Every structure is written in structure tokens, then in C-alpha cells.
Amino acid sequence: MEDASTGVIPLPQRKPTLRDMVSALTIRNYRIYAIAQILALTAVWTQRVAQDWILFQLTGNVSTVGFLVVMQFGPVLLFGMLGGVIVDRYSKRTLIIISQTVVIVSGASLAALAFTGALEAWHIFALAGLVGLFSVIDQPARQVFVSELVGRQLLSNAVSTNSAIFQTSALIGPAVAGLMLANWGGGWAFLVTAIGASLSLVLLFFINTAELTKFPTAPREKGQAREALAYVRRKPVIFWTLILLVFVSGIGMNWSVLLAPMAEHVFDSDARGYGSYNSAIAAGALIGAILSMRRMGVRLRTFYGSVLGYTSLKFASAFMPHEWAFMATIALAGLWSVLMWTAANALIQTSSNMLIRGRVMSIYLLIAVGGQALGGPLLGMLVDHFGARAGLMISGAVPLTAALIIGFIVTRVHRVPMGDLLPFRYGGSSSPED
């Protein structure tokens, strides 16, 4: 039975065991996919950090890094709903294979240009845009493919495990990129991208399609995007989660726009510091991902409390006077960030009908990824005019304020008790994993 106030399945009362925490990995297909994800995401993080830093060095302008975010994430904003329709109609595995091939081509091309000394800013913009275009189908396909790998029962654990994989890759990728940039140059970082993406592609062919959970595909009909929007509007738990994510993603993320000027202008630590800051966030996020694996379900309050934790810490990081204190604060922000995203992802997926899940997840990704495309240039201009610390303060304060306002609306309109939204206020528990 679903909880009437949240629309999600109530949490089991028993405490999770170690087997519960790794239950998704007991499935062979998911184990193969998990390894493929580690390789693919490490490759993507390595390329993303390297191209951000190289572009900053080529232009000396933070705003250009913000516009690179547009090239990476803008296609999702423009065509995200179309991507969801495609994912609901076709094989998710095939779509992932196609998009993975594009990442290989992008990484190899950037490596060749860097090694020959021909790399220019427009090359980075063009290839980032190409990868961004194919991410329109890649990202919702990967989200929904997890359901086919593990089924509904293990979906929440698989989402948390995916997050652990993502954060492990986000820890390794920036560290590799920082090492390569500091010692050997961007060409080697891009070569790592091409190799990692290629190995990931090979592993996708080892997934046994006969063992996948079969779900019906959506028929080809008109108005399927509008149908998804109407569906979201009818589901309060999905609707208000997505509305809050608009503020979090649009102005509360975009770390790449903030960390480069913090390294260059505030702490004078250059590429080493930039890589270290990314790794600090990823290290905290990895801990958050492991904590999220203890969840045996998710509620609206889990997501809401995590938003408050993340945005408060990001706001506080703007006032850290020393580099070590700054790194510690953003690491904690990374922890709460992943608790926030895993809660949102699981909450939306488990509240959505499978026939429409691809389109619903495309709306989620449109906001989560596309929102950064809108916020990136704006935040970049704010940093150029007012400095990196002001940018950090604004990027924390705006979504924090939105969370407080939306919390008030949800408790008043949908009559959800405030104790079901505030963190550390339910059932006598003080654990963020509840």
C-alpha cells in the first residue's frame, strides 16, 4: 500500500543487513553493468575536468566555462522530453551502446588535437556539444535500464549503488585529470577517456539480454510528452520534488564554474587545487552514496532534509578562510548532495508507472542536467563580476530559500506534517539514512 501523503511505498521496519546493502550486485547482469559504469563514468569525469581546466587556461575567462556547461547540458534542456519518448519506445541497451560510441570518438578526437598542439577552444565546445546531444537519450536510458537489470524490488538499492559507482568515478576521474594536467598535459587525460569508454562499451555486449526483466514499451502515439507532464502534475510527490530540483540544479550545482576561480584567484593553488577540490567533493559524495545504500526505501522527508543539508553547507563554504576548511566543507556538501540526488531519483522512479517512466525520468534529467545549462552562464557572470566567494554564497542561498518556501507550501496545501519534512525530526531518529 502507498502512503497517501507521499505516494510512495512505506519503508520496512527492520534494520538493513550487509546483504541488503549490496543486494543489486547479486544479479550477474547488474554486476557487469556496474563495472561498465565505473569505467564509463571515470572516463567522462576525466574528460570533463580536463576540458574545463584547459578551456579556462585558453581563454582566461570563467564565463566561457559557464558556456561550456551550456554545450554539455543544453541539449538535454532543449530535447530532453524527446529523449524520454525515444527511451520509452526502443531498447535501452542499444541506445546506451550508441551514445557510448560517441564518447569514445570525442575523447579520441580531443586527445589527437591536444597531442598535435592543434587544440582550440572551439574544438572543446563542439565535441562537448556532440556528447551533450547524445546524452539526451543516454541518461534516461541508463536510468530506466536499471529497472530491467534488477526489477522493481531491488530498484532502490540499485539506484543507491549506481550513486556509489558515480561518486567513486567522480573521485577517481578528477584525480586522474589533475595528475595528467599537472605532469603530462591534457592529451593524456583525453586518451584515458577514450580507453575507459571503449572498455565500458565492450562490457555492455556481455550483458545477457535474455535475463533482463521485460517491461512493455510505449506505443507510438501523439501527445506522449504532454501525457508525461500531466502525469507529473497529478503526482504531488513527483511534482514538488521536481520543482525544488529546478532551484537546486539551476543555481545550486555548477561546481565547475566555482572551483576553478577558487583555485586560481582565492587559494592560488592552480590545477592541483582544482583537482583536489573536485576530489574532496567526490570523497564526501562517496561516503554519502554508501550511507544511501542502507536505505530500504525513501520518503519525501529524506529528500527534503538532504536539500537543506546540502544548500546550507554550500552557503557556509563561501565563508571558509582557509583552504583545508573550504575542502572539508565542500566534502560534507558532497555527502549531502548525493543523499539528495539518490533520494530524488528513487522517489521519482518508484512513484512512476513503468510505461511512462522513461518520459518522467527525462523530465527529471531535463531539470537536473538541463538546469545547469541555464544556471552555468549566469553563475559564471556573477563570479566574473563579484568573485568566487559571492558566487558560492548565492548558489547556496537561492535553493536553500526555495526549500524553505516549498516546504511551507507542501505542509499547507497537501497537509504533510512538518515533522515529515524536517531532517532529524521523525520517529526519534537522528540518522540521515532513514
pLDDT digits (tens, 9 = 90+) for 314-364: 999 989 888 889 999 999 998 898 888 888 887 787 777 767 777 888 788
CATH of the domain at 144: 1.20.1250.20
pLDDT digits (tens, 9 = 90+) for 272-324: 787 788 778 878 887 887 787 766 566 777 788 889 999 999 999 989 888 88
242: cell is: 521536481
What is the structure's pLDDT at 73? 74
DSSP label of 210 = G
Kindly report the average pLDDT of the chain as a whole number: 79
Q: Answer whether residue 151 is part of any domain.
A: yes
Structural domain span for residue 159: 20-213+224-420
Whole-model pTM? 0.67
Residues 6+ away with beta carbon under 8 Å from 311: 248, 252, 396, 397, 399, 400, 403
Q: Answer whether residue 389 is part of any domain.
A: yes
The angle at the Cα of 289, spanning 286 to 292, to the nearest 5 degrees, equals: 155
Number of domains in the chain: 1
Length of the chain measured in residues: 434
Q: Distance between CA atoms of 432 and 302, rounded to whole angstroms?
A: 7
| Sign of the torsion formed by the C-alpha atoms of 82, 88, 92 and 94 | negative
Q: Answer whether residue 11 is part of any domain.
A: no
100: pLDDT strictly greater than 90: yes
pLDDT digits (tens, 9 = 90+) for 238-253: 888 899 998 998 888 8
Q: Distance between CA atoms of 178 and 66, rounded to whole angstroms?
A: 20
Ranked by mean pLDDT, the top range of 44-48, 199-203, 220-224, 416-420 is: 199-203
Q: What average pLDDT does this structure show over 211-230?
A: 72
Q: What average pLDDT does this structure show over 128-137?
A: 88
393: pLDDT strictly greater than 70: yes
Q: Answer whether residue 6 is part of any domain.
A: no
Q: Distance between CA atoms of 228 and 81, rounded to whole angstroms?
A: 9
Helix, coil or strand: residue 182:
helix
Q: What share of the chain in percent tops pLDDT 90?
A: 16
Q: Answer whether residue 433 is part of any domain.
A: no
What is the structure's pLDDT at 313? 93
pLDDT digits (tens, 9 = 90+) for 57-96: 888 776 777 778 778 777 877 787 788 788 878 888 999 9
Q: Answer whether residue 340 is part of any domain.
A: yes
* Chain centroid, CA 108 distance in Å: 24
Min mean pLDDT across 127-141, 263-277, 407-421 is at: 407-421
Q: Answer whether residue 351 is part of any domain.
A: yes
Residue 423 pLDDT level (bands cut at 50, 70, 90): very low
Q: Answer whether residue 40 is part of any domain.
A: yes
Residue 11 pLDDT level (bands cut at 50, 70, 90): very low
Q: What average pLDDT does this structure show over 256-266?
A: 81
Could you tell me which residue, 157 or 189, shows the higher pLDDT? 189
| Nearest in space to 191 (alpha carbons), one of 205, 181, 203, 201 | 181
What is the structure's pLDDT at 298? 64
